[in-house]
Structure 1
Amino acid sequence: MSFKIRKKDALDFHSEPTPGKIEVTPTKPLATQHDLALAYSPGVAVPCLEIAEDKEKVYKYTAKGNLVGVISNGTAVLGLGNIGPEASKPVMEGKGVLFKKFAGIDVFDIEIDEEDSDEFIKIVKSLEPTFGGINLEDIKAPESFKVEGELREQMNIPVMHDDQHGTAIISSAALLNALEVVGKKIGEIKIVVNGAGGAAIACTDLYVKMGATKENIVMLDSKGVIRSDRDNLDAMKARYATQCQISTLPEAVKDADMFLGLSMGNVLTPEDLLSMAKDPIVFALANPDPEIAYELAMSTRDDIVMATGRSDHPNQVNNVLGFPYIFRGALDVRATAINEEMKLAAVTALAEMTKQPVPEIVSKAYGEKTIKFGKDYLIPKPLDPRLIANISSAVAKAAMDSGVARGSIDDWEEYKIELEERVGAEKRIISRIISAAKKNPKRIVFSEADEEKILKAAQLISDEKVGIPILLGNEKKIKRLIAELELDLECEIIDPFYQTEKIEHFAKLHFEKRKRKGATMNEGRHQMHDRNYYGSMMLETGEADALISGLNSDYPNTLRPALQIIGVEPGLSRVAGMYIIRNKKGTFFLADTTVNVNPDVEGLVNIIELTHRAVKFFGFEPKLAMLSYSNFGSAKGDVPSKTAKAVQIAKEKWPDMIIDGDIQANLAMNKKLLEKTYPFSDLAGHQVNTLIFPNLSSGNIAYKLLMEIGASEAIGPILMGMQKPVHVLQAGSSVREIYNMAAIAVVDAQATANKKLK
């Protein structure tokens, strides 16, 4: 999706709180003098001598096997051109972040101040002892062809220029499936390629390897059709020079079966599109504006099969579907190259994966009931958790089969499990939630809109179309803050102080709800001036779809108005609070961490039900441990007694639920120890991902300790059990945390609306 990026936001993101986007984190403990002696002198001499005897041991004793160099000279950066190596560094850091996020690969980015191809090649070649692989990036054509080609010949580690081959691999997978959809054969179709840069040449090369015939390909550059009678053609373009006596794009696309655009926006006209053959395949990959706008193309012909480079249209050709997983597979078998067999294996794996049933978690993330193979689903979605297992294993196997692997994999199923655990597909939980929110944005009322963080979050929510903010507070103050913060936030602002008629209406509704609980009309009028009460009443009356508050107020005072006005779901006796904790070990759900002080057995059963449902809502299969200070009755007391009883009742009510307790936290989280010590437990053989605490103090202390000293990221608190979406922020939440909570609130509101329709 094309987002509005403000200069200040982008600069702040890259400069605060720490300049840049990456850091080096030690993987070994360095707590004692002994640790330091092992890590450096004198202990480090031992692996040094081992490697000196056998260079292959560098993969055993150093990080080389999981380290990729992202290397550029800054001569063709994004759409910015030759801006130099220093200016390219933010892009290279960003590429490193994607490697880590999607494939668990570490990266050093290296920007080289050298435009001479021969010198650049020498420099990169000299870095071979450091890296397990080289990702070349943003090097201008035609030099990029020479650089990559010679480095592949000279180096014994994988080298790939992703700008070329990433696009080629993803678009090739899409092409294979598009041809299947329209019932055409690759060897028979006429292909027009608009653009003759590195990506266009690489795509065309790969199409030919898949069976396309050169005689059926017409390529254009900025001067028009590349013909064999043109002077001064470089070797790369000359390979695709046509004998046809045509010069322009309209002439080239007439009766063409496929158009591949890697050029500039809006160069393909509706008339051009209409002149193409039946069931045309159009890959308009220029960004941010495709060669023909998606909406225009779809309205021009109803038989078109189309892909773009944008995330707001079907079939996004996104390189992130390829390069992290290709390098992952190559590194894991210590491949000496990324060869054609490995690229084609990635193409086939992507194409075949698209035809498999799509996990519900992916459908939810993209806000679609079902996603299935067809003209609007030619390649997998970028957030599909199956990508790493499917693509990396296919690439690794192709490396072994083609003889470029120095390592081997014996158990492919175990390898796939290791891949999923390496990055933890569940780490993308927020990405999936945000994607789902964007499919159907809802109105979110913010009760503390005169806060700087709220306004910045509201701007982000509005820009990215995650939700529709409604701001409560003093209008003059809010507008002044918007101006001071250099925002261009345009959304509804409501100051309850001036809403005389609405306050009277809300007060009457409140009185009807609370008159048998001691409430009066005067009290209602007074309370409706409180923004938490006013916002809750907006939600209750349908003037908003979700409510967010609590940034600068205590939890009980924020929650109380919502409980009085909106209330608890029918059939439940209480609400509960849950935190999602994410760290290197995975994603975990903790409850109750914010609401119930000391729940009894019935209360714990309610919390179990709410949490189990919430974990499923986020796309996970709940494995619940009911925590205590004892293990299955090993100690006596109120806590072991009530937790064991709650588990017993839960098992009787929900026989399919995976739950056990009472159990200590360390045992619950140690799968092997639990299986060895208590093999009878219903949790034996499962990795626990959901922890139910016996009281508020234990849950609250646990999540706060994990946040502060456990190197964990927390999402929450997520309020469970309200009739309508109300979420209370943690005091002092960051802008990103508020934004994340807004996305959760929107998806919560979508689910609430769906329940009403059923």
Structure 2
Amino acid sequence: MPTATAGPQPATAPITDREIFAAHEGGKLSVESTMPLDSKRALSIAYTPGVAQVSRAIAADPSRHATHTWASRLVVVVSDGTAVLGLGNIGAAASLPVMEGKSALFKTFGGLNSIPLVLDTTNVDEIVETLVRLRPSFGAVNLEDVAAPRCFELEERLIEALDCPVMHDDQHGTAVVVLAALTNAAKVTSRTLADLRVVVSGAGAAGIAIAEILVNAGAGDVLLVDSKGTIHRERDDLNAIKARYAAKTNRDNVIGGIRQALEGADVLVGVSSSKVAEEDLAGMNDDAIIFALSNPDPEVMPDVAARHAAVVATGRSDFPNQINNVLAFPGIFRGALDAGARRITPEMKIAAARAIAALAEDKLSADYIVPSPLDPRVADAVARAVGEASRH
């Protein structure tokens, strides 16, 4: 597990292209045996003839599949390469370095085995069928970098088709960390979630999930803004997902663009590539909170945001308050697998957010609203909270 101090970390030296490509050459993952294969006896136990006894036992008692293979603790990171980082639809092959990295994070931060599966199809039926057929090989599915709105259907279909935890991390990992950070940002500014009027700029995978978790956690009001303006009840151009949220957000049915949405708002959460002009921020309430999470280029740079906000966060590691999914997903999956949960529920996600927020409370400040991604306490705390929530 990583080690780190609990507080903000100093900036590091710039990373060069040469260093990056050297680190990725040959890939970032390997498979190693958990037992030494250094004698005939060891080979006879690990492979033939000994392994046949284990296979026969599993055939006779399928529950031994969970105890005598790695599948029950194996997370597959699945992508079709259609929404990779800020690069867009770059295809399955080009997405593989990202998925390798995600698998490495599962192992390092969550202690879970993980392998990447990049699929050369964008057909939801084909992806579901592929994972259903592969189900004996894994214990959980982390969907990654699948474009909206197809990602919503894919996640829903897989949750119904598979008897194991499934989570699209671009949606829910982001949402969990945003809720944790916003919980503490509200405390820093002497408010609660219920006091906050939140504007979410971006109504894709992350934006929709953030709106959902904030509504479930009791935020005062949430407004979603997409490329055409606020999502409100009078719009006739909304897809089914956005229409669902038009009915449960934007209490005052605000109509207009980002400037109109931010009038009287307490919080801006940016999860789109759209820039927010400084003059648009001027209408926000005092002690505003701005999370500009697009990476590497935030919707508004922190120095500009700080002129209008008491608390500022980004998705970058070179500014304070990094909103990083690695705070959430390793512990969420480990907690779900430890508990034998079939699904990752909204209650488990909120519990994860509260656990993350609690770890920053001892040193809470405007520049420290979530723990460091390298804080070794995080995954354990999240796993415990998720496991407890799964039992209620």
| Aligned partner of 2:277 among 254, 269, 280 | 269
Q: Would you say 1:311 and 2:351 are equivalent positions? A: no
Q: Where do 1:120-135 residues align within 5 Å?
A: 120-135=127-142
Kindly tell me: are residues 3 and 272 of structure 1, through their superposed partners in 2, closer, same or farther at Cα, counting changes over 3 Å? farther
Report the count of equivalent residues: 378
Amino acid at match of 1:322: A
| Aligned partner of 2:171 among 150, 164, 171 | 164
- Deviation, 1:182, is 1.9
Amino acid at match of 2:244: R
Cα distance between partner residues in 2 of 1:248 and 1:98: 38
| Aligned partner of 2:20 among 10, 19, 39 | 10
Residue equivalent to 1:287 = 295
Cα distance between partner residues in 1 of 2:192 and 2:112: 37
Q: Where do 1:277-426 residues align within 5 Å?
A: 277-298=285-306, 300-301=307-308, 304-356=310-362, 372-399=363-390, 401-402=391-392
Residue equivalent to 1:181 = 188
Cα distance between partner residues in 2 of 1:319 and 1:112: 23
Amino acid at match of 2:292: A
Q: 2:196–2:266: 8 Å Cα contact kept in structure 1?
A: yes
3-state secondary structure, aligned to 1:129: helix
Kindly tell me: are residues 245 and 316 of structure 1, through their superposed partners in 2, closer, same or farther at Cα, counting changes over 3 Å? closer
Cα distance between partner residues in 2 of 1:274 and 1:150: 43
Cα distance between partner residues in 1 of 2:147 and 2:255: 28
Cα distance between partner residues in 2 of 1:389 and 1:137: 23
Q: 1:218–1:240: 8 Å Cα contact kept in structure 2?
A: no
Cα distance between partner residues in 1 of 2:14 and 2:244: 40
Structure 1 unaligned blocks of 5 or more? 357-371, 403-758
CA deviations on 1:97-125 (whole Å, 9 max, x unpaired) are: 11111122111111111111121111112
- Deviation, 1:9, is 4.0
TM-score of the aligned structures, taking structure 1 as reference length? 0.48
Identity within the alignment, %: 45
Amino acid at match of 1:282: I
Q: Where do 1:89-168 residues align within 5 Å?
A: 89-168=96-175
Kindly tell me: are residues 284 and 27 of structure 1, through their superposed partners in 2, closer, same or farther at Cα, counting changes over 3 Å? same
Structure 2 unaligned blocks of 5 or more? 1-10
Amino acid at match of 1:342: M
Q: 1:132–1:334: 8 Å Cα contact kept in structure 2?
A: no
CA deviations on 1:351-378 (whole Å, 9 max, x unpaired) are: 122113xxxxxxxxxxxxxxx1122221
Cα distance between partner residues in 2 of 1:313 and 1:297: 12
**Which is worse superposed, 57-66 or 225-234?**
225-234
Amino acid at match of 1:304: A
Cα distance between partner residues in 2 of 1:395 and 1:227: 34
Q: 1:2–1:310: 8 Å Cα contact kept in structure 2?
A: no
Cα distance between partner residues in 2 of 1:239 and 1:185: 26
Cα distance between partner residues in 2 of 1:331 and 1:244: 41
Cα distance between partner residues in 2 of 1:321 and 1:69: 19
Residue equivalent to 2:263 = 254
CA deviations on 1:29-87 (whole Å, 9 max, x unpaired) are: 21122221222222111111211122221121111122111111111111111111111
| Aligned partner of 2:239 among 212, 218, 234 | 234
Q: 2:74–2:140: 8 Å Cα contact kept in structure 1?
A: yes
CA deviations on 1:213-254 (whole Å, 9 max, x unpaired) are: 5xx322111222223332331111112335635221111101
TM-score of the aligned structures, taking structure 2 as reference length? 0.91
Kindly tell me: are residues 3 and 147 of structure 1, through their superposed partners in 2, closer, same or farther at Cα, counting changes over 3 Å? farther
- Deviation, 1:331, is 1.9
Kindly tell me: are residues 222 and 2 of structure 1, through their superposed partners in 2, closer, same or farther at Cα, counting changes over 3 Å? farther
Q: Where do 1:428-467 residues align within 5 Å?
A: none
CA deviations on 1:309-343 (whole Å, 9 max, x unpaired) are: 11222211001111111112222222212111211
Cα distance between partner residues in 1 of 2:18 and 2:370: 35
Cα distance between partner residues in 1 of 2:259 and 2:210: 21
3-state secondary structure, aligned to 1:128: helix
Q: CA RMSD in A?
A: 1.9
CA deviations on 1:181-208 (whole Å, 9 max, x unpaired) are: 2233333422111101101100110000
Amino acid at match of 1:180: K
| Aligned partner of 2:47 among 22, 40, 43 | 40
Which one scores higher on RCO, CA 8 angstroms, separation ≥ 6? 2
Q: Would you say 1:224 and 2:261 are equivalent positions? A: no
Amino acid at match of 2:269: L
Kindly tell me: are residues 117 and 46 of structure 1, through their superposed partners in 2, closer, same or farther at Cα, counting changes over 3 Å? same
Residue equivalent to 2:5 = none
Residue equivalent to 2:8 = none
Cα distance between partner residues in 1 of 2:87 and 2:276: 23
- Deviation, 1:7, is 4.5
Q: 1:71–1:135: 8 Å Cα contact kept in structure 2?
A: yes
Amino acid at match of 1:174: A
3-state secondary structure, aligned to 1:239: helix
Q: 1:65–1:334: 8 Å Cα contact kept in structure 2?
A: no
Kindly tell me: are residues 158 and 2 of structure 1, through their superposed partners in 2, closer, same or farther at Cα, counting changes over 3 Å? farther
Q: 2:348–2:389: 8 Å Cα contact kept in structure 1?
A: yes
- Deviation, 1:129, is 1.0
Amino acid at match of 1:347: A
Cα distance between partner residues in 1 of 2:254 and 2:312: 28
Q: 2:229–2:255: 8 Å Cα contact kept in structure 1?
A: no
Q: 1:328–1:392: 8 Å Cα contact kept in structure 2?
A: yes
Amino acid at match of 1:285: L
Cα distance between partner residues in 2 of 1:314 and 1:262: 18
Cα distance between partner residues in 1 of 2:254 and 2:172: 30
